[in-house]
Structure formats: structure tokens, C-alpha cells
């Protein structure tokens, strides 16, 4: 099955600002938990270091979000913000977050969301984008394939950067 066949029932589109509250749920889904470890309580997204990813989304330069939708349900999201988070490089480089609902994983959606976001960021004039990821997270391979390089190794976590120009 080719990537286009795998993705044929998904539509990737920009998030409507009226849907921005969904980013709180996708922030929770973006938390990497190793296999066999229990997910933290949903209230964890109320911590200040996680609120920066969704609070007042759409109000700042660099606030860009694409979503994957199937059957009128949003099942994946990739978004960027310029925030002082774990992946902060500088005040001109947005940090990227991505999450796909568990039931929609393994269909190429994450790769498609990521690649579409990289295209949007280039068009918007950004020179680079960063992210932080746990070393054990299977998504590291996806980021490497997309051209992200490790710029910082913090033990369990990597900071990765993709130059866009």
C-alpha cells in the first residue's frame, strides 16, 4: 500500500481558530510515555511548562497549526509556537509539537502532518524549526528522515533542529 493510499481517507487542513481548544487535548497526546508505563493524569497539561503549547494559541507570530481530519473528527495535529520551552533555540525559531490519536497511528499521518507543516513554515518565511523528543520515542526516526539534526543531547531527551532555507 502506498503512502497516498494509506492517507486517502484523511484531510490535512489548517486549524480554525474556533478549534484552538483542541490543542489542550493534543498536548496531552503528545506526551511520550514508554510502553508499559501508565499515562500521567490529564491534569498534567495544566502545568505551566505544558500550557505554553496551547494557551492563547493564535495570538503570536509562529502560532501555526495543521490538523488531520477523518469522518469530521480531528485525529492528528502538528503545531508551532515561538516559546521558551525545552526546544527553544532563539526568538525566531518556532518549536514544533505533533500528536496523532492512538487509533489513527501507523497510517502515515504523522509524516504527512510533519512534511506539510515544514512546507507551510518555509512559505511563512521561517528559517528553521526545533523540537524536543525523548530518545526512546519512535518518532525520532521520522524527524531524522525529515532532515532534523540533533543539536543538543540532554540525557533522555534530544533537541532537534531543521533548517528550512
| Domain assignment of residue 112, yes or no | yes
- H, E, C per residue of 47-91: CHHHHCCCCCCCCCCCCEEEEEEECCEEEEEEEEECCCCCCCCCC
Distance CA 43, CA 58 (A): 22
- pLDDT band of residue 8 (cuts 50, 70, 90) is low
Residue 148 located in a structural domain = no
Q: For the residues 70-86, what does the mean pLDDT come to?
A: 93
Percentage of the chain exceeding pLDDT 70: 95
Give me the CATH number covering residue 120.
3.40.630.30
In a domain, 139, yes or no: no
The string of pLDDT tens digits covering residues 91-128 is 999 999 999 998 898 889 999 999 999 999 999 999 99
**pTM listed for this prediction:** 0.90
In a domain, 16, yes or no: yes
Domain residue limits at 99: 3-126
Query: Is residue 11 a part of any domain in this protein?
Result: yes
Comparing C-alpha atoms, which of 74, 101, 55, 100 is closest to residue 13? 74
Does the pLDDT at position 35 exceed 90? no
Helices and strands (DSSP H and E) totals, the chain = 5, 7
Residue 144 lies in a domain: no
24 in a structural domain = yes
Domain count, the chain: 1
What is the rounded average pLDDT of the residues 55-60?
Answer: 93
Provide the mean pLDDT of the chain: 92
Is residue 31 pLDDT above 80, yes or no?
yes
Considering the domain boundaries, does residue 140 fall inside one? no
Residue 1 has pLDDT above 70, yes or no: no
Q: Summarize pLDDT for 136-147 with one digit per residue, the tens.
A: 998 999 999 999
User: What pLDDT band is residue 4 in, cutting at 50, 70 and 90?
Assistant: very low
Amino acid at each position: 500500500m502506498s503512502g497516498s493510499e494509506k492517507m486517502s481517507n484523511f484531510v490535512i487542513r489548517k486549524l480554525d481558530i474556533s478549534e484552538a481548544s483542541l490543542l489542550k487535548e493534543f498536548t496531552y497526546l503528545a506526551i511520550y510515555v514508554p510502553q508499559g508505563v501508565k499515562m500521567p493524569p490529564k491534569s498534567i497539561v495544566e502545568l505551566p511548562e505544558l500550557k505554553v503549547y496551547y494557551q492563547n494559541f493564535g495570538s503570536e507570530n509562529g502560532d501555526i497549526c495543521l490538523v488531520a481530519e477523518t469522518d469530521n473528527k480531528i485525529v492528528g495535529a502538528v503545531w508551532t509556537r515561538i516559546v521558551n520551552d525545552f526546544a527553544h533555540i532563539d526568538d525566531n525559531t518556532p518549536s514544533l509539537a505533533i500528536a496523532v490519536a492512538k487509533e489513527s497511528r501507523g497510517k502515515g499521518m504523522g509524516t504527512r502532518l510533519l512534511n506539510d507543516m515544514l512546507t507551510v513554515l518555509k512559505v511563512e518565511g521561517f528559517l528553521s524549526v526545533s523540537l524536543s523528543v525523548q530518545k526512546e520515542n519512535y518518532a525520532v526516526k521520522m524527524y531524522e528522515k525529515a532532515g532534523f539534526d540533533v543539536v543538543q543531547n540532554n540525557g533522555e531527551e534530544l533537541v532537534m533542529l531543521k533548517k528550512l532555507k
